[in-house]
Each structure stands twice: as structure tokens, then as C-alpha cells.
Structure 1
């Protein structure tokens, strides 16, 4: 495995000052700061294996964020289809898609203006171990987090993902969302458009309905979205879109203390900083980010005391078209079905070659090879 060593990421003094200045004055999103929409920066090339159909909202910025779940045992049933797992993907104008690991549409839930989605397993609801999905929701009547359940033990032909409930919030525009398994507790973290963070526990009450308790709230500063937790190192990574990548403590007792891992800078992250995901590979864990402004994907190794820069990859044309302008992404260690024995990375594609936006599936082995991991 080849990585650059060292506990700190080197950036120029001018880049750092520029990032901090931007943090103080930016109040609107800045998309595609490279050389125009569709510009692709430098990075190790990889190719996607397959893709989903276009989301149903035609001609709009609609597909946003995916989440992957895979059965650790026998295949499961989703709407009459036997599958080793599924990918949830948001259409932020219309609802939630459930895709097979082959990219096919298994289910669509018209649940409003969902933005970011995440998935967790093992939550006990009514005495059953359930898979729970959560999504930030910007719908006027359900602003907050919308929750879904999936019963992997149910073999009925009509089994599928179903609406569970809503968690209201005082945040005007919920944007980012991620789960974290902290000991025996399931934590949920919602990031507001203007950087408001709400962290709470999620459980099921005796009546089977969701029960939450707020643990912490703090402000990031400006527009933020992507978040991902690494409980093993007590880390919560959040992307401040036009400023950079922050590492917070996952423990609510750490408050708003944070470390800037990487400011916006050429050849590292080009605004907007969007999705974040972590994938485990043996003893190593890697953080993958979406540098939307130059359509690249920066990677750090994060299982040590501090993140270590690895490099960047880009997704070029192959069996399907390449990836540009990504919003959300997700990663899961393998095996994820027979086609992805070591892991799967799913990435939103802003400029799809046919139809509207969609999601691309990439074999983790291809990324490992490209980066020399």
C-alpha cells in the first residue's frame, strides 16, 4: 500500500487565508469553480461498472445522494425481487428510489423533497431487527428527517421499504444527513443548509414509532451538507462547501471543537465540497469526498490519529459514461453481492449522457488499484 505519510496536510499560507476569508463572507453556494460545468480535474482514472436509470424528475437538478445496504446472509425480498441488497437514492424533487445491486429500479416512494439519505441496521422495532433509512427532508409539511424501515426477514412478495415517521426540526432547510452507531445507541446527525447541526439518538418506542432525543447542536458557519461518522476514532466529518473539510468529535460532549483537515485548494478540493463516505478495507479505513468543482474524488486514510492524504481519482468513460459534478456518494465494504466482492462505491452523476441525472456503481477494487492501495 502506498500513501503519503505524516500527520498534517500541507497547504500554502495563502490558500489557508483564502479559505478562512471565504468562510467569513460566503452566504450562497458556489458551484463548479473549475473551468466550467463538466470540467474534470487531475486524478487516477477509474471506470464505473454500471448505472441506474435516470431519476424521474426530467430536466432538473434532482438526483442527489445514495446509501448502500447489503445482506450478510441469504438474499432478501424487495417488491417481489430477490436481491442480495439495495441502493437507496434520493430524487430531491420527488422522493426515494430503491435500486437493486444491478442498478434496476425495485421501488419508488413519493415522499417529497428528500436530499441526503443514509442507512443503518440492527434497530429493534416491535421485537424485530430492522434496517432503518433516514433522509433530510425539505418538504413544507415534514421539514426535518423522514424515516423508513425495511424488514430483511420478511419474505413476502410485497415486502419493501416503508415509511416509518418524521422527526421535526427548527432548521429551515435540512440538507445533509448521516447515521452513527455509537455503542448500543444509534445516533442521527442532520446538517442544515446554513451549517446548523442537530445530533440526536434514534430508537423505537413501545408503540413501534420513532423516538428521538437531541444530544447536541452547533453551527458550522456557512453552507454545509455532506457528513459521515467514524465511531472507531470518535470522528464526525462534515463538509463546509466553500471552506473545506472539518473533523469534529462524534461524542456530543466535544461540543463545537473542530479541526480543519483540508481547506478548499486547487488539486485537493474545489468548491463545492459535497458528499462524504467512509469505506473499510482490512485494517484500513478511507474517507472519500466529492470535489464537485472539478469532478474529482479526494481520499484520505482515517484509521490513525489523524487523516493522511492518499490522492484523488476521477471516473472516466467506460462501460457507462464518466461522472461529473457529483453531489452525494456512499461506500460499503464487501462482499456487496457477487459483482462487488470487496466493496461498492455509488456516486451521483450530475451530467448523465442519456436522460437526466442518475447514480453510477464502481467496484472498490478498481479504486484501490488506481490509487495503489
Structure 2
């Protein structure tokens, strides 16, 4: 297998060597069990575009667990395990513009990625949280998930009112759109941390959640991590093709593995990084453990007047063979299957070929195989951004665990009054047993969520 490539703080660039690939069978096919309601990214659909799910495990009855899903400008949905809508939370409003409201172009909230935090202390009571990156406001949006008088858990916004932008120094910078994007949370040595990536850059913020007055929760910046944007490849240097000179290869999918002291980050057009959870700033422990198939491939870039951006043509006939064939850009969602005692799997959304790559969670992260979700009772999964898997037995609905995936091309097609196709997205629920059986992966349904 490919050996990890280490990046030292004493070395200005990553040195990459072409390595042989193991011969691995092609992706296996599975199907989804059910799906959520569709959303439409147009004016009639309130420009709603689903992105990232988070599975919450009920503390007493796993069969009553819930799934939160971000909808970007549409806010956040909360679903039951049969995919039915339980609660909808709209995105936060745009900040005001003072004395010139007519000229106001401040962006409203735009929830991008979501994570679950269990047992965070709020006013002396352990409280489960749904934390989301808000790309529109450049903040975190923090929701408490609490039971009502009828015992049903629902969301309430407890974000600290004074929460500051994570990457922006002014509202003008927020409006420019280089804002909070990908997200991962974890609790380590009594502190709840959040990794937040910045859209269209290689910067990642390290934040610490903290309780604020009146039962609200905010955060403080601990550090910024700046990753490479170009790399040594062959006799020269290579960076991914971009349609804008100002953009850099960004991160979105991220996940923490406390048992292995690892933080995994997917740099969409580059590969999968592994860094030390207990020392994320230590660049000597940064490893590029997998690379997109397009890594190092030369390209031609031409200006497209119609789109007002550059278009890229990859020259695969000149492929130097530095990438991994089973990973096609963009590399998006990352999620961890926890089988206990450090065992389990790291899942990577290979958006470029609509597959999911599965890696061993332990050791040197050996590649175990890939799968795709094809048409079945409901349509298949394509263009996946976010996804989350749980090993926990979720009652009769999913007794062997559940994988929830964003479907960026939901079917059947729907058309507007002018005959134009409406862009539809939703979430698909996949019975994990079907994936495990197809790839011969051992199951473990022990509940270690809390």
C-alpha cells in the first residue's frame, strides 16, 4: 500500500513519490432503504440545497434516534429514522446595515456542515448539541437538542449572541464569502473543540466551545492551521486547477478519531490528511495518507467568457501516476465507523465517481474497498458532499447501523412552469448491513455514542 507522506516544518514543500497500487476489485453496489423530502435550489424552493447530515443517538431508546441535516440557505431539518420531517429550523437572518438598508447586501445564514456533541454542560446540565458551520455569517450555529414535556427531543438555537466571525475581520470580509465551511467536533481532555475550514482557502481554524451567559454557547479561537496549496510533483511543482486565481484547494470533510489520536481532513482536489489530535499545530505529524487520482496530473486552463471564469482540462495522457485510482476529486464527506477498541473504518466520499472509499481505521489506514449507492426502492446517490455513519443498532429500523448520505442529484426529475429542470437534493438512508455484507466488513453494534 502507499506509505504516508510526512510534512516537516523544516521542509517547505511536500515530497511525493509515485508508488504502486494494490490490485483492488471495483466498487460494489448497494441501495438506499429510504429518503427524505426533496429540496430545490431555486427561488420557489427558497434556494434550499441539502449538504451534510448528523446522526443523533437517543440516550434511552436508540430506535428513537434522529438525523439533523443542513440545507444551506434553507436552514436545518430534523428527521426521524423513517426519513419523515420532525422539525424545520430556518437559517438565521442577515445582519442589518444601519442607516442604509436599501444598499444592504449582507448575507443571511447558510448552514453547511453539522456535527453532534453529547453531554455539553449548559447551566449545570449535560446537554446534547447540534453544531453547524454557518457559511453565510462566518460563525458556528449551535443548537440544543432537548426533550419537551411529551419527551420528544427538538432543537433550540442557543448560539451566543456575541459570537464573532471565525475568519473575517469585518462584515465586508464576511460578504466576500471566504467563510466557515467544513466542520468537525470532538471532546478531548475535558474540552470540546471544533475544526472549521475556510471556503476556497487552505486555512482551518481550531476553536474551543465555551458556555456563555443565559444558557448560550459560544467559542473562542485557539489557532489557525495553514495547509499547502502546491506540491512537488516530478520535476516541478503542481497545484490543482482552479477556475479563479484567488482560490486555493479547500477542505470540507473532516472527522476526529480520538482512539487513534487522529484528525482526518479531506482537501477536496488533493487528498486525505491525517494530523495529530493532541497536537494539531505540529506540522511534523501531518501526513497525506491518500491522494486523489488527479493528483499531479497536468492541465490546460482557458478563460470562459460565458461563465466568466477559467475552465480546466486535465491531461490524463500525461498522468504521472501519483494519485490513488479509487479516489476521484472532489473528495468531500468523511465519517468514522466505530467498532470499538480502536477498530472500524474511515469512509471517504469520492464525489468524482459517485463512490465511497473505505479505509481501515487503525494502523496505516489500509484501503479496504469501495461501494456506490445505485437505484433501488428509491433512486441512487450522486455527487455526495456530506455523510455520516453509525454502528449503533437503531431499533427495528436499522438494527445493524445506518449510513446517511447527501444526494446531490435527487430523482425523479421535476420541472418548473417554463420547462426547466429544478435542481433537487435530499438525504438517503442506507442500511449499513448491506454495505458490510457486500464488502465483507465485520459488524459491531455496541452503543458507544456517549
Short-chain TM bin: 0.7 to 0.9
TM-score by length of 1: 0.82
2:382 is equivalent to residue 285 of structure 1: no
Report which stretch shifted further, 274-283 or 241-250: 274-283
**How far apart, in 2, do the equivalents of 1:295 and 1:353 lie?**
15
1:160 positional shift: 1.5
**How far apart, in 2, do the equivalents of 1:88 and 1:57 lie?**
19
Q: Secondary structure at the match of 1:179?
A: strand
**How far apart, in 2, do the equivalents of 1:159 and 1:332 lie?**
19
2:118 is equivalent to residue 121 of structure 1: yes
2:66 is equivalent to residue 86 of structure 1: yes
1:66 to 17, 33, 53: 53
Report which stretch shifted further, 335-344 or 223-232: 335-344
Q: Map Cα deviations across residues 159-192 of structure 1 (whole Å, 9 max, x no partner).
A: 5201111543125321101111213221111111
**How far apart, in 2, do the equivalents of 1:157 and 1:198 lie?**
36
Pair 1:252–1:268, CA change in 2 (3 A): same
* Contact 2:358/2:370, CA 8 A, preserved across alignment: yes
Pair 1:179–1:51, CA change in 2 (3 A): same
1:343 positional shift: 1.3
1:337 positional shift: 3.4
**How far apart, in 1, do the equivalents of 2:34 and 2:28 lie?**
19
1:218 to 225, 229, 232: 225
How do residues 245-284 of structure 1 correspond to structure 2 at under 5 angstroms? 245-252=272-279, 254-256=281-283, 257-265=285-293, 267-283=325-341, 284=343
**How far apart, in 2, do the equivalents of 1:65 and 1:274 lie?**
10
**How far apart, in 2, do the equivalents of 1:316 and 1:244 lie?**
25
> Which protein shows a greater Rg?
2
The number of residues matched between the two structures is: 332
**How far apart, in 2, do the equivalents of 1:197 and 1:9 lie?**
21
* Contact 2:52/2:386, CA 8 A, preserved across alignment: yes
1:212 positional shift: 2.4
How do residues 339-350 of structure 1 correspond to structure 2 at under 5 angstroms? 339-350=397-408
* Contact 1:68/1:332, CA 8 A, preserved across alignment: yes
Aligned position for 2:167:
170
**Structure 1, unaligned stretches of length 5 or more?**
1-5, 11-15, 19-40, 76-82
* Contact 2:166/2:179, CA 8 A, preserved across alignment: no
1:199 positional shift: 1.1
Pair 1:159–1:44, CA change in 2 (3 A): closer
Aligned position for 1:52:
36
2:75 is equivalent to residue 95 of structure 1: yes
1:124 positional shift: 1.4
Query: Structure 1 or 2: larger strand share?
Result: 1
**Structure 2, unaligned stretches of length 5 or more?**
6-15, 19-24, 92-108, 169-177, 230-248, 294-323, 415-423, 442-450
Pair 1:120–1:274, CA change in 2 (3 A): same
Q: Map Cα deviations across residues 113-167 of structure 1 (whole Å, 9 max, x no partner).
A: 111111111111112221111111122xx32211111114x33478520111154
1:93 positional shift: 2.3
Pair 1:182–1:223, CA change in 2 (3 A): same
Root-mean-square deviation (Å): 2.6
